[in-house]
Structure 1
Amino acid sequence: MSTEALQWFKSTYSSDEGGACVEVAVCPRTIHIRDSKQPSSPDRTLEVSPATWAAFASSLK
């Protein structure tokens, strides 16, 4: 799937004032992660499995 066709979102804790934000797009088999400051750079997109994303997210709690 093209990264342009994905539905990207940021955390509700992120603001539009810049800073260190990431955007996430969720697909059935892949979680896509990118830097919100460079959204059009497909070579700067990280793809992980849903299990890897879940382990990461649960470690933040």
Structure 2
Amino acid sequence: MPVSLAENSLEWFKSSYSGGNTTECVEAAFIPDGAAVRDSKRPGATYLRFSNDAWARFVRAALNGQLGPIGS
């Protein structure tokens, strides 16, 4: 669900796998009930908000290689 959060109240981070490619990067921030995700090229745009459970399932799937190859 889209949500607008105060940018200065969140500590955004990028994956260590982001590298130098600035065309395909998202940033995430922890919020009290989950995580927020934004396009790093549009930091003032709307953010996506995920529950703790949804974020944990996403991270687990990413760590287990269940999301498929990059670019597919």
TM bucket by the smaller chain? Answer: 0.7 to 0.9
Q: Which has the higher contact order (CA 8 A, sep 6+)?
A: 2
Q: Which runs of 5+ in 1 are unaligned?
A: none
Give unmatched runs, 5+ long, in structure 2: 65-72
Q: Following superposition, which runs of at least 4 residues in structure 1 exceed 6 angstroms of deviation?
A: none
**Quick check: which one's helix share is greater?**
1
Largest Rg, 1 or 2: 2
Compute the TM-score of the two structures, normalised by the length of structure 1. Answer: 0.81
The Cα RMSD (Å) is: 1.5
* TM-score, normalised relative to structure 2: 0.70
Identity over aligned pairs, percent: 37
Size of the alignment, in residue pairs?
59
**Residue 32 of structure 1 pairs with residue 27 of structure 2:** no
